[in-house]
A and B are shown apart, each in its own frame.
Chain A
Amino acid sequence: MIEQEVTIKNRAGLHTRPAAALVKTAAKFQSEFYIIKDGFEINGKSIIGVMTLAAEQGSTLQLRFEGVDEEAAAKEVIGLFERGFDEV
């Protein structure tokens, strides 16, 4: 199991497009992927769940990966957050 904290960097936050990119990336891996925010846990492979998070710029999220390819999954997903979903 891998756990890591990330911060939302892009200005618009986790709106539709980044949410879709996140879900799409997570879906490439077998590992389970969960996002925890304010004590609320959602499945990171579910677009409706990620949309519900309403994560705005500056907010921190706890990510959890669990499964055979958890390292690769964590690397790619965290990379997305670090690049601010390629938005400003």
Chain B
Amino acid sequence: MEKKSEIVLHGIAASPGIVLGKAYIFTKHVPRIEEKSIPADNIEIELSRLDHAQKRSQKELEKILQLTEEKVGNQKAKIFEAQIMILSDAVLFDSIKKRIQKELKNAEWIVHKEISKYQQLMLKSPDEYMRERAHDVEDVKNRLIRNIQQDLLISRFEKKSVVISEMLTPADTVLFSRNDVLAYATDMGGTTSHAALLSRSLKIPSVVGLKTITKQVQQGDWVLVDGYAGTIIVNPTRETILRCNKRKREHRQFEARLELIRDLSAQTTDGKEVRLSGNIEFSQEFRFISQQGAHGIGLYRTEGIFLRSETYPSEQMQYNEYKTIVERAKPYKVVMRTLDIGGDKVLAENYSEDNPFLGWRGIRILLDKPELFLTQLRAMLRASAHGEVWIMLPMISGIKEIRRSKEMIEQVKQELRGKNIPFDENVKIGVMIEVPSAAVIASDIAQEVDFLSIGTNDLIQYLIAVDRGNDTVSSLYQEFHPAVIKTIHHIIKAGHLHNKPVSMCGEMAGDPTATLLLLGLGLDEFSVAPIVLPEIKKIIRSVSFKETEEIAQRVLEMKTEEDISEFLRVNLHAMVPELLLE
């Protein structure tokens, strides 16, 4: 037999852990439906097949619902609500039964015809929410048909496999976890997808965003999943396996040591304390983030609540969610970013732009749609009565946007005062610095607001004019481009000139290679993905501020990305030798 060669695939680390196992390629089951005529004598049989399938589907969904509730709470379980309701729609099942009797066709064919009718109508809707519901209907239909045909969903799934799929739904993630799945690896997805969140709470290593893994792996191939580095090694050699086993042991030991510093502050050896907080999108992530020892939330993305619910969530719904987060974060603060999405997500009709990154997004939408903005501000201010809330404005490109936003915040405050609704009068207002124009005038901005937060992901893209999602140019996306570092330096100085704290909430804040530099540049707060938080704390606690200042000075004089990144790696390794660099 020909020996298969080793392939390394890079994706995004979504849930930590290293594991070796056989690949199980999970392809979404699309049932084959054939039209068959049935003799009148067999009507009863067809009806009982349907009945059986309906009951079975209901049981399956209830099980998923229950599992989800146990693992992640009620809110998340709502994903399955609509499907369960459709399965008990008496009118729908009556008409399916009548058609079977009248047309004398097999049950799956009629189910397909009848449910597809609704699906077509939903897909035609201009409303994005409705089109999404069509997917729910599709899921129910496929589940029913599969159960009529009595196929088992994961019958071929061998326990203790690595599940490889284009995409996983939350239901898939929960279901496989019952079968001792070893790890997940998917073509699509990001760290904030529902499936990624679930795999973290289920403690199943996972790597997402691998783009082509389903095409590069075959059923039963050995795969090594590295949920720390975000890589998958297909057909690993003996040497690779040994090396990974060693890393796995090291990670375990390292994690045990990190556990010891979990409740300690992020303080350098010479006593400079910085704040180390977490980025979150859903209240369910809280358990993980506090386990990781975060001191508050440096970036709460409110998009989650908007994207998962139908149209715009009401003020009350937003308030409930914000309040939960604020209360859980106590005694620490929560930096809430107002809605930061592109125009395509806001308009019901198909909205598209030639250049969405330079288009209608973030604060631009909020100022154009005051009702949307005011509702969110009201919910945030009301939540501020329950803990420390800082409000952060995204995509600011000039002073006018800040002043207009502040007027609107004042308007909401007036309204709340008039109605005697409690809120924190001293809520801090700050902006994300992610547009180069805002970076240039950071000093003017600092005089208008209470804090600055550097959003490196967009800032780097805009500064270098490179879309990192575009494979042809993505190598130009460089965190350590000298212009990026000089810009960050400039923003921090501008904030400090006016005694305003400066934080960073982009990915760079969570990159261990950047920690020494950012510390040395004087960054006040690192807001990072919970997964890397203990590591960043370890670095901060291992070095002196004085040393990092020297490092930053040296870096500011360097001319190329390569020099900087090499210099930072070497120094990090020397100063924190126990760190496991990928």
Contacts and interface: CB of A to CB of B under 8 A. Distances in A.
A16 B92 contact: no
Contacts, number: 63
Interface string A16-58: 1000100100010000000000000001011111011010100
Contacts of B133: 16, 51
B127 A56 contact: yes
Q: Is the interface of B mostly helix, strand, loop or mixed?
A: helix
Given A88-B314, A88-B316, A51 B91 contact: no
A20 B85 contact: yes
A55 to B, nearest CB: 10
Contacts of A87: 314
A23 B90 CA distance: 11
A8 B251 CA distance: 56
Given A45-B90, A45-B91, A54-B127, A15 B118 contact: no
A46 B345 CA distance: 29
B118 A48 contact: yes
Interface string B345-359: 000100000000000
A12 B310 contact: yes
Interface in A55-72: 56
Nearest to B133: A51
B567 interface: no
Interface in B113-144: 115, 118, 121-122, 125, 127, 129-130, 133, 137
Interface in B63-104: 81-82, 85-86, 88-92
Nearest to B126: A54
A11 B311 contact: yes
B312 A48 contact: no
A47 B315 CA distance: 26
Contact of B82 (A43, A51, A88): A51
Contact of A15 (B137, B311, B315): B311
A16 B118 contact: no
B207 to A, nearest CB: 33
A87 B366 CA distance: 23
Nearest to B93: A46
B89 A12 contact: no
- Interface range for A: 20 to 34
Given A47-B89, A49-B118, A51-B82, A12 B127 contact: no
Contacts of A47: 85-86, 88-89, 92
B82 A16 contact: yes
A13 B81 CA distance: 17
Given A16-B81, A56-B127, A48 B115 contact: yes
A15 B316 CA distance: 17
Contacts of A45: 90-91
A16 B85 contact: yes
A59 B541 CA distance: 60
B476 to A, nearest CB: 43
A13 B92 CA distance: 22
A11 B314 CA distance: 8
A54 B312 contact: no
B121 A52 contact: yes
A12 B137 contact: no
A51 B474 CA distance: 42
Contact of A48 (B81, B127, B137, B315): B137
Contacts of A27: 90
A47 B137 CA distance: 11
Nearest to A56: B127
B92 A51 contact: no
B130 A54 contact: yes
Contacts of A46: 89-92
The 3 closest A-B pairs by CB, nearest first: A46-B91, A15-B310, A54-B130
14 contacts: A12-B309, A12-B312, A16-B81, A23-B85, A47-B88, A48-B115, A51-B86, A51-B122, A51-B137, A52-B122, A54-B122, A56-B127, A88-B315, A88-B316
Given A15-B311, A52-B121, A52-B122, 20 more contacts: A11-B311, A11-B314, A12-B312, A13-B310, A13-B311, A16-B82, A16-B310, A20-B85, A27-B90, A43-B91, A45-B90, A46-B89, A46-B92, A47-B86, A49-B92, A51-B137, A54-B122, A54-B125, A56-B127, A88-B316
